[in-house]
Amino acid sequence: MMRRLVWAIILICPLLLLCGCWDYTEIEILDFVLGAGLDQVEPDYLVVTEMIKTSGSAQEAQVETVVLTTHGRSLSSAARALSSPAGRDVFWSHAQVFLVSEEVARGGILSAIEYAVRSHHMRSTVAMFVTRDCTVEEVFKSKPPFNDTVSEHLGVLIDLHAVVSNFYPQQVWEFTSDLTAQGISGTLPTIQLVHEQGEKVPIVKGTAVFKKDRMVGWLDGEESALFSLLKGKFQRDHFVMETRTSEGSFPITYQIMGNKVDIKPVVKGERPRMNIKISLQLSVVEVGHGAKISFQNEQEVKNIEEQIAHTFNRRTKDLIEKLQLEYNSDILGFGQLLRRKEPDIWRRYSEDWDSFFPLLDVEVEVKCTIAFTGLSSQPIIVRD
Amino acid sequence: MFFWRRAKQKKPRGLTSVTASLDTNIDWFKQDIFANDDTIVYRRFRTGEPQSRACVLIFAEHMVKHEFLSEHIVRAMMQGPLPNGLHRDDLIDYITERIIHSDAVTVTGSFTKLAELITGGRGVLLIDGCDLGIAVDAQGWAKRQVAEPPSENVVRGPRQGFTEDLGGNVALVQRRITNPAFKTKFLTVGTQSNTKVAVLYVDSVASPALVEEVLDRIQKIDIDAVIDSGYIQELIQDSPYSPMPTIGHTERPDVVAGKILEGRVAVLVDGSPFALTMPYLFVEAFQSNEDYYNHWVTATFHRIVRYISFFITTSTPALYLALISYHPQLIPTNLVISIAASRQDVPFPGIVEVVAMGLVFEILREGGVRLPRPVGQAISIVGAIVLGDAAVSASLVSAPMIIVVGITAVAGFVISTLYDTAVLIRLLLVLTSSILGLYGYILGVMAIVIHLASMKSFGVPYLTSMTEFLGQNVKDAMVRVPWWRMTLRPRYLAAQDRKRLQSTAGSKDR
């Protein structure tokens, strides 16, 4: 028994040495791609990547970024070609952002996302962006003031969406599912470069609107914030509004404390309509120009609430009109809602949604309450 | 002197029992049984007049209380005159009943028995003309004071620990269970050492089959000597090839009392301060006596900490290795970059680093344990400086590896009874995960769990109460429920008398 056991162990041990570890790597020979982008598709793919370069001793490791550009006949071949200039095995699983230039977006985004969706190297949670008025390479070569890498900077901006909401974040899988679903079009947030203390700094602001797989136009920051609100995203956004009060007209800053959006298709007679109900809870953050407004005055508050509701109503209608008439792109997913709630009606229009969508009647109803006024409900009254 | 005597006298041969002649008896002891043994003392004296008789008191010099022998045997015999006409049994009865002041007396005529009694520390009294010997208990040798056991410290709880004295150890337990149901059975093990072994249990609680099994296993031991309870443990335990302990050991009488009150059996061995308790289950490694003295919430918390520590000490190096060698995508980006940076100049692959650092730590620990305390401190200082700092600056190992080894080591000390086992488990998991990554780690864990589930300790499945979700057994496994909820003893032990807390009705009010 014992002898057999010993023999078994002696025979099994060399077997362990025979089996190869095909998946084995050493972590220090990997080059981590933090962000990638596609600048052009024709005549060949131009892939820009931001990679991490580690140096220094074991105790004082230093990290710097390297931006590499490679060409290839496909995205994957360009990505593979990276290994040669990088001199290491390129590791894609830590990529956080994927940028697409306006040119590529307008020419058809499928050429960019096919590899991102198919490859197991890139995660489906990678955040996607379209660069506006700049190339991907310029974005990656810009210098964010606080974060070490551009990709990290962009990742932080996405996390800050609730605070600065003038874009609508999209990950590869969300964008792809919008592209492939019926009755909804895709959007991607936009990256712009601004000048800050002599350096170019990338910011995320605005939205690129797609029609099928091609980009058709932009939404600016304010429109994007409203779009994000209509999409039901949690927001703590600030906005300034010129408000008429009993004391005159003043700019007052409000913060959204609670937002609830309910979009419902209503079928009356032949044609479906969309009914949008927005309810907002607001907090007064700052009252401009020394206005003496007391928020204990019920009449005053009601008046202000009505003004805000009216403004939101108008802006929502403007945005939808722009989407209907200018871009003819159903990025709010009215068609999808109709398909879910009224499948019979949808079947009638699904073939011809493109020509029906611009004619769709949309009703907007905004309810607005000022729930908080900060620490004081009284104005600061200066006396001698 | 001996040569002279041997040459002159004819050596009596083949004596098995005491003769009536005192000189023959003494010679037999001197020249045969205790030949060349200088520790045996033969004190000759005569009883008081008128019926004066020659007597001898034989004892091992350093095993007895000298004052007791001189006062209560020699002096009593010299003073008390023996009445006339007493022979053999009557004489022995008279002496044991009226003269010798001792609570424990053995009368026998067998030389081998008497010899054993002498080496066991008794005084043997032989009287001329009588073919029986009287052995009087007078054991007295250097004993350690009852002190706090160094291997099992408590913050709150009794501070008594076992010593090397079997009788004292049994008394320490008996004092905690003053009840006739508390039983002690003495056995003798070891053909050379004749070591006394005590089997302790509570009659009304412990299953008779278990007691029978323990006694049977101990009786079957055929070994020359038993120096420590570890001998017994290894000779009677289940799954002897497994590194997992299937018999528990403790230095604390309160732990033994607690365990036998649950229906376990304890074995104490003369000369060893470590008591054995059986059956021993996996969950017991995570129970501490302090759990039962502290508030149940804190006790539960500490118990969970122990489970987590066991996971950390067995798995951290394996998981670290699997992650950095096979699954760098599972590490958060910032961490993976800093690990990669710190491994930049390290010349060895991860597996070499893990095994080497683990080995170095074990060497340091072993060195620190065996060395005298002042030198041991020097070892730990050298270890801390060499490992913590110099090795990293010299790029021999990476800084994260130091953290992994450190947390592994610290967590290992939390469950001290499983420390050695944890080292082996850790090594196994490191090897499997170095070959197959996380997949290998999971296979390794499965192998260990299957092994544990296949084991038994004295008929009780080793994983009992860890594989259940409901019932009384669970109340003292992952958590320690309050005493008023632990109304019953564990079913697998105390089948005959399960009720621990009498008033279960009143418990619901609290």
Domain boundaries, chain B: 2-137, 166-280, 292-460
Please check the confidence at residue A59 and state whether its pLDDT lies above 60.
no
Q: What is the DSSP string of B360-408?
A: HHHHHHHHHHHS-HHHHHHHHHHHHHIIIIIHHHTTSS-HHHHHHHHHH
Long-range (24+ apart) CB contacts under 8 A made by B79-84 are B79/B48, B80/B47, B80/B48, B81/B47, B81/B48, B81/B49, B81/B50, B81/B51, B82/B47, B82/B48, B82/B51, B82/B53, B83/B51, B84/B51
User: How many angstroms separate the CA of residue B352 from the nearest CA in chain A?
Assistant: 12
Give me the amino acid identity at A81. A
pLDDT of residue A382: 80
Strand order in the sheet with B265-269: B182-189, B195-202, B265-269, B275-278, B248-250
pLDDT of residue A16: 67
pLDDT of residue B500: 78
User: How many angstroms separate the CA of residue B426 from the nearest CA in chain A?
Assistant: 18
Please check the confidence at residue B510 and state whether its pLDDT lies above 50.
no
pLDDT of residue A168: 93
Give Cα separations from A349 to A325, A334, A342, A344, B348 (angstroms): 18, 12, 11, 9, 66
Q: Which are the contacts of A79, defined by CB distance < 8 A and separation ≥ 6? A: A36, A47, A49, A70, A72, A90, A92, A115
**A–B: how many Cβ contacts below 8 A?**
82
Q: Which of B455, B460, B508, B454 is nearest to B484 (CA)?
A: B508
| Helix, strand counts (H, E) of chain A | 13, 13
- Residue B474 near residue B480 (C-beta atoms within 8 A): no
Please check the confidence at residue B8 and state whether its pLDDT lies above 70.
no
Give yes or no for B140 touching A (CB within 8 A): no
Please check the confidence at residue A172 and state whether its pLDDT lies above 90.
yes
Lowest mean pLDDT among A129-133, A253-257, B2-6: B2-6
Cα B219 to the center of its chain, rounded Å = 18
pLDDT tens figures, A140-155: 999 888 888 899 899 9
Across the range A339-366, mean pLDDT stands at 89
pLDDT of residue B509: 39
Across the range B417-438, mean pLDDT stands at 91
**Interface-testing mutation among B342, B353, B430, B441, with chain A (most A C-beta atoms within 10 A):** B342
Q: Who among B337, B343, B393 is closest to A32 (CB)?
A: B337
pLDDT of residue B13: 60
Which chain B residues are Cβ-neighbours of A96 within 8 angstroms?
A: 333
Contact A32 B437 (CB under 8 A): no
The mean predicted confidence, pLDDT, of chain A is 88
Residues B374, B376, B382, B385, CA torsion sign: negative
pLDDT tens figures, B439-479: 999 999 999 999 999 999 998 899 988 887 777 777 888 88
* Helix, strand, coil percent values for chain A (each to nearest 5): 35, 35, 30
Residues 446-465 of chain B whose Cβ lies under 8 A from any Cβ of chain A:
none
pLDDT of residue A18: 67
Q: Is A330 helix (H, G, I), strand (E, B) or coil?
A: coil
- Residue B279 near residue B457 (C-beta atoms within 8 A): yes
> Which residue of chain B is at minimal alpha-carbon distance from A5?
B241
Q: What band does B1 get if pLDDT is binned at 50, 70 and 90?
A: very low
- Residue A32 near residue A51 (C-beta atoms within 8 A): yes
User: Can you name the CATH fold of A236-378?
Assistant: GMP Synthetase; Chain A, domain 3 (3.30.300)
Give yes or no for A57 touching B (CB within 8 A): yes
pLDDT of residue B39: 87
Give yes or no for A22 touching B (CB within 8 A): no
Give me the amino acid identity at B277. T
Q: Which of A274, A287, A276, A279 is nearest to A308 (CA)?
A: A279
Question: Where is B113: in which H helix or E strand?
Answer: helix B111-119
**Interface-testing mutation among A17, A19, A28, with chain B (most B C-beta atoms within 10 A):** A28
Please check the confidence at residue A210 and state whether its pLDDT lies above 90.
yes
The mean predicted confidence, pLDDT, of chain B is 85
pLDDT of residue B12: 52
Give me the amino acid identity at B168. G
Across the range A53-70, mean pLDDT stands at 74
Contact B341 A30 (CB under 8 A): no
Q: What is the DSSP letter of B98?
A: I
Q: Which are the contacts of B267, defined by CB distance < 8 A and separation ≥ 6? A: B197, B198, B199, B200, B214, B218, B229, B232, B275, B276, B277, B278
CA angle B380, B381, B384 (to 5 degrees): 85
B305-316 burial, b if ≥16 CB within 10 A, otherwise e? Answer: ebbebbebbbbb
- Residue B148 near residue B122 (C-beta atoms within 8 A): no
Which chain B residues are Cβ-neighbours of A35 within 8 angstroms?
A: none
Q: Who among B326, B337, B344 is closest to A58 (CB)?
A: B344
Give yes or no for B392 touching A (CB within 8 A): yes
Please check the confidence at residue B10 and state whether its pLDDT lies above 70.
no
Name which residue leads in pLDDT, B325 or A21: B325
User: How many angstroms separate the CA of residue A96 from the nearest CA in chain B?
Assistant: 9
Give Cα separations from B50 to A84, B72, B73, B84 (angstroms): 118, 21, 19, 9
- Please state whether beta strands B265-269 and B195-202 pair in parallel, antiparallel, or not at all (unpaired): antiparallel
Name which residue leads in pLDDT, B292 or B378: B292
User: How many angstroms separate the CA of residue B436 from the nearest CA in chain A?
Assistant: 7
pLDDT tens figures, A220-270: 988 999 999 999 887 888 888 888 888 888 899 999 998 899 999 998 877
Q: What is the DSSP string of B127-176?
A: ETT---EEEEE-B----PPP---TTS--SSS------S-HHHHHHHHHTT
Q: Which are the contacts of A200, defined by CB distance < 8 A and separation ≥ 6? A: A138, A142, A143, A193, A194
Q: What is the DSSP string of A136-179?
A: HHHHHHS--SSSSSHHHHHHHHHHGGGTS-SS---BHHHHHHHH
* Distance linking the first and last C-alpha atoms of chain B: 82
Q: Is B260 helix (H, G, I), strand (E, B) or coil?
A: helix
Distance CA A300, CA A285 (A): 17
| Helix, strand counts (H, E) of chain B | 19, 12
Cβ count near A359 (within 10 Å): 9
Distance CA B337, CA B341 (A): 6
Give Cα separations from A82 to A63, A79, A245 (angstroms): 19, 5, 62
Distance CA A315, CA A230 (A): 11
Tokens of B306: 């122990």
Q: Which are the contacts of B148, defined by CB distance < 8 A and separation ≥ 6? A: B159, B160, B161
Q: What band does B306 get if pLDDT is binned at 50, 70 and 90?
A: very high
List the domain boundaries for chain A. Answer: 30-220, 236-378
pLDDT of residue A56: 62
